[in-house]
């Protein structure tokens, strides 16, 4: 109808049509930005600033789990320096993240950052970075497995952040002060109040230091955060020292008090101090009275004499390594890995520990180097007790563990420089000491290669070079030559021979040749017990069976050759005879007769070639191990006797 009227009135000039179009509006980018920025501040702030914490804690736990931390400690790194280095690292990472975050937030005109005094913003973020770092130290001290820890800590942080964001829903009247015990709750309360404050007042920098200080609970929250960070540091050191974990020597729960009392009493009289130290060093002998009988079971007369020397003669000042009745049982294992080990090693001496797989060699080294705590007994390493003065022990020893503990991304030179700094090599001598260590294990051409690019044998050499760095009085080498070729092995032997001057070197090995060449003293152990101890010559004389005649028969005439040996040599010269193929034993007294007789070739037509050798260390080893086995398993005795 309207159209018809319009057409009539305006003679077809206008018509009314239908359609839809948007209403005109005024562009307001600022409001849009502010809403987004407010949202980001409320929800992304907490998440962005909190999720470095699980990462930090995981790094620390991985270092514990991978034994890097204990190896660094063994090389002289103390806990304070370790945490300080990580503190600087974590703070730097957080500051980078914070700068990125602040720049982004300012670009979208985040109300909190835009309207708050920049000095206050910087201080608040620094405080949060500091609290997160110390909190990660504390959380890391509670775990020993990184995977589990990472999961739990991520979950814990996520829940904390969600609860922090929901605090105004949970507490409509504002949270009680106890709520701020959790650092995440404290910090995000500050941010939230700041956000509200910033959006209410539209002046430049309305949230100044003075208005912040008068804000509800603001100073309380800051005080809480500061106090918590100090508490976290103290708890970290305490938990690290007392909480049982797989590696390291634990201290008693009351150590802060007992240590203080001890320190007081020790300063009261220096003379008494020296006396008490000697008594203390001796007192470890009384720790395992019960295992005494056990430890007497397996040893020979030398072992018993050695035990007596440890009790009466050896002085920690002159004998760098004294082991007294060391006993260790791994958790969950019924049988002890070490059952009362007692011996001493003087300076300028290389002692080889021999024993079949599972004899307890590595366990002994682990106890002496502080990787595990002994169940009973004690030892003194370079004058320091392994139960009470492990950090002193670490500063005076070097260790090459059985399995290489190296950082894949560091070069050979990086490793040696790092450890020479830990060992306190003076800065002017650092480069020289690194170059010398690298050259001594023939790794000069791999100097700048990352460890992940080295072969197993080359990695082994890096570990040995680390053990020999600095001025340590006792060096432990756990199977140093495993995986090395013959040439390099000889290089290592040269190194060991050179470094033993003014040192005590303890090495475990499966190579009898290595033990024979390197050792001044050899200790053979089986089933956690010391079976014999002495020089190579002494053991050969004691356990060897004189001389060995090796013969090669002409093809197919072995029986005839053996028969001729028995007929023509036995009645004349040989006092004992034992046949295992071409194997004959003779006493030293008949040696010249044997030579004389065998030189007459026509008497032995079936013998192609012959030679006489002295008993080897391997013979001694096999005898000791077989005898030890025989005492354990009766059927094996019958079988051995038959085969002979
Ligand atoms: N971490 C551990 N947890 C439980 N038992 C262990 C652990 N390490 C070693 N053992 C056990 O302790 C005993 C001694 O082991 P150890 O590694 O000290 O022997 P070893 O003489 O060094 O042997 P190998 O020559 O094979 O290195 C073995 O029975 C072994 O199974």
Q: What are the contacts of 170-174 at 24+ separation with CB within 8 A?
A: 174/216, 174/217
pLDDT of residue 198: 66
Q: Atom of ligand 1 at shortest distance to CA of 335?
A: 29
Q: Is 330 in the pocket of ligand 1 (CB under 6 A)?
A: yes
Q: Going by C-beta distance under 8 Å and a sequence separation of 6 or more, which residues neighbour residue 386? A: 249, 367, 368, 370, 374, 378, 379, 380, 393
Q: Whose CA is nearest to atom 6 of ligand 1?
A: 330
Q: Whose CA is nearest to atom 26 of ligand 1?
A: 357
**CA separation, residue 452 to residues 22, 459, 491, 580 (Å):** 65, 9, 23, 48
The sign of the CA dihedral 239, 242, 244, 246 is positive
Q: What are the contacts of 328-335 at 24+ separation with CB within 8 A?
A: 328/360, 328/363, 328/367, 328/372, 328/374, 328/375, 328/376, 329/375, 330/363, 330/372, 335/528
R_g of the chain computed on alpha carbons = 38
**What are the pLDDT digits (tens) for 544-581?**
766 777 788 888 888 888 888 878 776 544 444 444 43
Q: Is 445 in the pocket of ligand 1 (CB under 6 A)?
A: no
pLDDT of residue 200: 63
Q: How far is the CA of 361 from the centre of ligand 1 (A)?
A: 8
Average pLDDT, the chain: 80
Rounded Cα distance between 291 and 337, Å, is: 13
Q: Is the pLDDT of residue 627 over 60?
A: yes
Q: Whose CA is nearest to atom 17 of ligand 1?
A: 362
Q: Whose CA is nearest to atom 2 of ligand 1?
A: 330
Highest mean pLDDT among 132-141, 365-374, 382-391, 588-597: 132-141
Query: Can you tell me the mean pLDDT for 430-450?
Result: 90
Contact by Cβ (8 Å): 528, 339? yes
Q: Which of 65, 331, 333, 363 to mutate to test the pocket of ligand 1 (most atoms within 8 A of CB)?
A: 363
pLDDT of residue 297: 56
Q: What are the contacts of 380-385 at 24+ separation with CB within 8 A?
A: 380/281, 380/284, 380/316, 380/321, 380/322, 380/324, 381/320, 381/321, 381/474, 382/320, 382/321, 382/472, 382/473, 382/474, 383/316, 383/317, 383/320, 385/280, 385/281, 385/284
Contact by Cβ (8 Å): 85, 77? no
Strands laid side by side in the 384-385 sheet: 338-345, 321-328, 376-381, 384-385
| Apex 363 CA angle, 357 and 364, nearest 5 | 110
Domain ranges of the chain: 30-242, 541-643
**E strands present in 559-606:** 583-586
Q: How far is the CA of 401 from the centre of ligand 1 (A)?
A: 13
pLDDT of residue 35: 55
Residue that is written with structure tokens 């409001």 in the block:
31
Q: Is 334 in the pocket of ligand 1 (CB under 6 A)?
A: no
**What are the pLDDT digits (tens) for 29-42?**
555 555 555 666 55
Lowest-pLDDT choice from 187-201, 226-240, 374-388 = 187-201
Token pair, residue 631, equals 């005492």
Spatial CA neighbour of 316 closest among 264, 350, 274? 274
Q: Is 337 in the pocket of ligand 1 (CB under 6 A)?
A: yes
Rounded Cα distance between 601 and 608, Å, is: 9
Q: Is 511 in the pocket of ligand 1 (CB under 6 A)?
A: no
Q: How far is the CA of 94 from the centre of ligand 1 (A)?
A: 42
The sign of the CA dihedral 457, 459, 465, 466 is negative
Q: Atom of ligand 1 at shortest distance to CA of 360?
A: 18
Phi-psi map region of 76: left, alpha, beta (phi>0 left; psi -120 to 50 alpha): left
pLDDT of residue 88: 96
Q: Is 403 in the pocket of ligand 1 (CB under 6 A)?
A: no
**CA separation, residue 13 to residues 10, 16, 17 (Å):** 5, 11, 13
Contact by Cβ (8 Å): 248, 371? yes
Contact by Cβ (8 Å): 362, 524? no
The sign of the CA dihedral 198, 203, 205, 207 is negative
Residue 328, strand partner residues: 338
Q: Is 119 in the pocket of ligand 1 (CB under 6 A)?
A: no
Q: Are strands 384-385 and 338-345 parallel, antiparallel or unpaired?
A: unpaired
**What are the pLDDT digits (tens) for 62-111?**
998 888 888 888 777 888 889 999 999 999 999 998 888 888 878 877 77
Q: How far is the CA of 337 from the centre of ligand 1 (A)?
A: 7
Residue 284 pLDDT grade (very low, low, confident, very high; cuts 50, 70, 90): very low
Tell me the pTM.
0.69
Q: How far is the CA of 359 from the centre of ligand 1 (A)?
A: 7
CATH architecture of 541-643: 2-Layer Sandwich (3.30)
Query: Can you tell me the mean pLDDT for 242-265?
Result: 74
Rounded Cα distance between 407 and 303, Å, is: 41
Rounded Cα distance between 222 and 131, Å, is: 11
pLDDT of residue 334: 83
pLDDT of residue 258: 77
Q: Is the pLDDT of residue 413 over 90?
A: yes
Spatial CA neighbour of 133 closest among 100, 99, 91? 91
pLDDT of residue 370: 84
Q: Atom of ligand 1 at shortest distance to CA of 362?
A: 22
Residue 238 pLDDT grade (very low, low, confident, very high; cuts 50, 70, 90): very high
Q: How far is the CA of 640 from the centre of ligand 1 (A)?
A: 27
Token pair, residue 250, equals 């634990």
| Apex 608 CA angle, 547 and 612, nearest 5 | 15
Q: Atom of ligand 1 at shortest distance to CA of 358?
A: 19
């Amino acid at each position: 109808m309207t159209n018809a009227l319009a057409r009539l009135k305006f003679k077809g000039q206008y018509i009314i049509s239908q359609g839809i179009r948007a209403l005109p509006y005024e562009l307001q980018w600022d409001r849009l930005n502010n809403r987004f920025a407010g949202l980001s501040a409320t929800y992304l702030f907490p998440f962005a600033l909190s999720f470095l914490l699980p990462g930090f804690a995981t790094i620390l736990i991985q270092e514990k789990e991978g034994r890097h931390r204990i190896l660094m400690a063994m090389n002289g790194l103390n806990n304070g320096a370790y945490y300080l280095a990580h503190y600087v690292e974590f703070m730097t990472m957080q500051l980078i993240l914070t700068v990125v975050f602040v720049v982004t937030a300012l670009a979208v005109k985040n109300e909190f950052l835009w309207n708050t005094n920049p000095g206050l913003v910087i201080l608040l973020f620094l405080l949060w970075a500091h609290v997160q770092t110390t909190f990660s130290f504390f959380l890391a001290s509670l775990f020993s497995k990184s995977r589990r820890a990472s999961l739990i800590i991520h979950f814990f942080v996520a829940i904390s952040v969600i609860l922090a964001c929901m605090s105004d829903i949970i507490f409509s009247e504002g949270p009680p002060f106890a709520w701020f015990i959790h650092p995440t709750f404290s910090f995000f309360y500050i941010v939230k109040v700041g956000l509200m404050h910033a959006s209410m007042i539209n002046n430049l920098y309305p949230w100044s230091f003075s208005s912040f200080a008068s804000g509800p609970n603001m100073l309380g929250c800051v005080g809480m955060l500061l106090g918590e960070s100090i508490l976290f540091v103290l708890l970290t050191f305490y938990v690290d020292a007392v909480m049982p974990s797989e590696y390291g020597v634990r201290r008693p729960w009351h150590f802060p008090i007992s240590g203080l009392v001890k320190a007081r009493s020790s300063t009261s009289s220096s003379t008494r101090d020296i006396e008490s130290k000697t008594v203390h060093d001796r007192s470890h002998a009384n720790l395992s009275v019960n295992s005494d009988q056990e430890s007497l079971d397996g040893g020979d007369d030398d072992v018993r004499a050695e035990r007596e020397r440890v009790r009466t003669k050896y002085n920690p000042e002159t004998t760098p390594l004294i082991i007294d009745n060391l006993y260790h049982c791994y958790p969950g294992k019924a049988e002890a890995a070490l059952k009362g080990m007692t011996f001493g090693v003087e300076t300028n001496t290389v002692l080889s520990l021999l024993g079949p797989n599972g004899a307890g060699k590595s366990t002994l080294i682990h106890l002496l180097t502080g990787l595990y705590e002994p169940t009973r007994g004690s030892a003194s390493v370079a004058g320091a007790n392994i139960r009470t003065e492990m950090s002193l022990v670490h500063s005076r020893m070097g260790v090459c563990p059985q399995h290489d503990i190296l950082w894949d991304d560091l070069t050979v030179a990086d490793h040696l420089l790092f450890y020479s700094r830990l060992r306190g090599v003076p800065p002017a001598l650092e480069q020289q000491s690194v170059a010398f260590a690298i050259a001594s294990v023939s790794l000069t051409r791999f100097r700048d290669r990352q460890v992940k690019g080295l072969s197993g044998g080359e990695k082994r050499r890096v570990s040995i070079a680390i053990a020999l760095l600095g001025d340590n009085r006792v060096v432990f080498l756990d199977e140093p030559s495993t995986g090395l070729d013959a040439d390099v092995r000889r290089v290592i032997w040269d190194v060991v021979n050179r470094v033993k001057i003014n040192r005590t070197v303890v090495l475990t090995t499966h190579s009898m040749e290595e033990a024979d060449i390197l050792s001044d003293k050899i200790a053979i152990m089986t089933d956690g017990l010391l079976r014999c101890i002495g020089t190579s010559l002494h053991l050969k004389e004691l356990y060897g069976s004189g001389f060995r005649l090796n013969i090669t028969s002409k093809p197919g005439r072995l029986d005839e050759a053996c028969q001729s040996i028995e007929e023509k040599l036995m009645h004349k010269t040989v006092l004992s005879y034992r046949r295992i193929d071409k194997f004959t034993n003779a006493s030293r007294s008949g040696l010249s007769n044997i030579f004389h007789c065998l030189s007459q070739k026509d008497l032995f037509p079936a013998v192609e070639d012959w030679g006489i050798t002295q008993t080897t260390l391997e013979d001694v080893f096999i005898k000791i191990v077989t005898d030890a086995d025989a005492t354990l398993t009766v059927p094996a005795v019958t079988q051995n006797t038959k085969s002979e």
